[in-house]
Amino acid sequence: MGLDSSAVQLLGAARRHGVDFHDLLTIGRQNFYPARETLDRVLKALGSGKDASAFPPGFAEPFFEELGAVNPRAMDHSDYEGAQVVHDLNKPIPAELRNRFGVVFDGGTIEHVFNAPQALKSMMEMVRVGGWFIQVTAGNNFLGHGFWQISPELIFRCFTPENGYEPPIVLLKEAPYDDAWYASKDPARIGRRVELRNQVPTYICTIARKTADVEAFASPPQQSDYAVLWESDKWFDSHGFTKRRRSLKHRLPIPRRLKPLLKWSAVSLGVVSAFESDCYTRIPEAAFLRGDLSAALPPPS
């Protein structure tokens, strides 16, 4: 676990966006190894007055302190790297850790925890009301890196008012191949799955603010497209209609069924970006480092 160039960019953007890092818990003690030129750009955007030479390789506490953290702490399964909080995230957290921290940052742990729903629940509940959860984890093309790869659907369905959070900012980045960031739209809002077919390791990141002290996942999240289907079934049943059920492939005309294959071929050849879709909005690095995450915010209701 550690802060590479993408993680440093994300944390700098979060700080400019308004995240207060004063009381920080990291999940795993974070190593520090961003590209020096990227770190220089992040520090400049923060108005730091320092350059990359002030942050030698090692653990990341000096950078967290530059973000405003005071005595940042780390949680891990053991204290082999000096973690101050020792806990197995496969198990529920003790009561004294609930609502304890202003920021909980997962820099690449959850994909390595077998009981991932419990781990996410615990991390969400360790954030105090008004605080923030920030995460960099494995999206596409991390097969074999850990137990799991994460999708936008999971993040959007977990970070909800019912679970004590504002709608999250969900971001994807091909790392380290591109300086651009991509804001993901909520599948429930656009009425279809948000998918990605690309060829390089891609991070998926979360910035989410806690607004209420409630038990996370008191009702388990459901995938949005299935939830809509189930609700439509209930409506038809309650009104006495008979539905003709047909598989999706029989409802789509042949040209539309070929479109994903054609796009995948174009992506493979490098003709178009895998993010050429209305599911994503590109955020240039300069805007991202200023904390301009407006493209990732949900539209006004």
pLDDT band at 161 (very low <50, low <70, confident <90, very high): very high
Region 2-11: what's the mean pLDDT? 96
At 165 the pLDDT is 98
At 237 the pLDDT is 55
Question: Comparing 190 with 299, which gets the higher pLDDT?
Answer: 190
**What is 140-162 written as a DSSP string?**
TT-TTTSS----HHHHHHHSSGG
Task: Give the C-alpha separation, 290 to 12, whole Å.
Answer: 8
- Residue-range domain boundaries for the chain: 2-222+276-296, 225-268
* Percent of the chain whose pLDDT exceeds 90: 78
| 142 has pLDDT over 50 | yes
| 82 has pLDDT over 70 | yes
Task: Give the C-alpha separation, 16 to 48, whole Å.
Answer: 12
Q: Which residue has the tokens 């607004």?
A: 211
Please tell me the CATH code under which domain 2-222+276-296 is placed.
3.40.50.150
What pLDDT digit, counting tens, does each position of 17-69 carry?
Answer: 999 999 999 999 999 999 999 999 999 999 999 999 999 999 999 999 999 99
Q: How far apart, in Å, do the first and last CA atoms of the chain sit? A: 38
Task: Give the C-alpha separation, 171 to 183, whole Å.
Answer: 5
Region 90-108: what's the mean pLDDT? 97
C-alpha dihedral, 253 to 256 to 258 to 264, nearest 10°: -160
CB 211 within 8 A of CB 165: yes
At 195 the pLDDT is 94
**What is 95-114 written as a DSSP string?**
GGGTT-EEEEEESS-GGG-S
What pLDDT digit, counting tens, does each position of 226-264 carry?
Answer: 998 888 755 455 555 555 444 444 444 555 555 555 454
At 250 the pLDDT is 45
263-269 long-range Cβ contacts below 8 angstroms, 24+ apart: 263/197, 264/197, 267/197, 267/198, 267/199, 268/199
At 234 the pLDDT is 55
pLDDT-wise least confident of 1-10, 100-109, 267-276: 267-276
CA-nearest of 68, 100, 84 to 27 is 84
Task: Give the C-alpha separation, 301 to 297, whole Å.
Answer: 11
| 268 has pLDDT over 90 | no
Question: Comparing 235 with 193, which gets the higher pLDDT?
Answer: 193
DSSP 8-state code for residue 186:
P
At 15 the pLDDT is 98
CA-nearest of 106, 131, 98, 112 to 26 is 106
At 272 the pLDDT is 45
CA-nearest of 159, 96, 90, 99 to 125 is 99
At 247 the pLDDT is 47
Q: For the chain, what's the residue count? A: 301
Tell me the two tokens of residue 28: 């795993």
Amino acid at 287: A
What pLDDT digit, counting tens, does each position of 194-209 carry?
Answer: 999 998 999 999 999 9
Tell me the two tokens of residue 296: 């990732």
At 299 the pLDDT is 74
At 253 the pLDDT is 54
User: Angle, nearest 10°, between helix axes 5-17 and 36-46?
Assistant: 0
269-275 long-range Cβ contacts below 8 angstroms, 24+ apart: 274/196, 274/197, 274/198, 274/199, 275/172, 275/182, 275/196, 275/198
Calculate the average pLDDT of the chain: 89
Task: Give the C-alpha separation, 85 to 87, whole Å.
Answer: 6
Question: Comparing 116 with 228, which gets the higher pLDDT?
Answer: 116
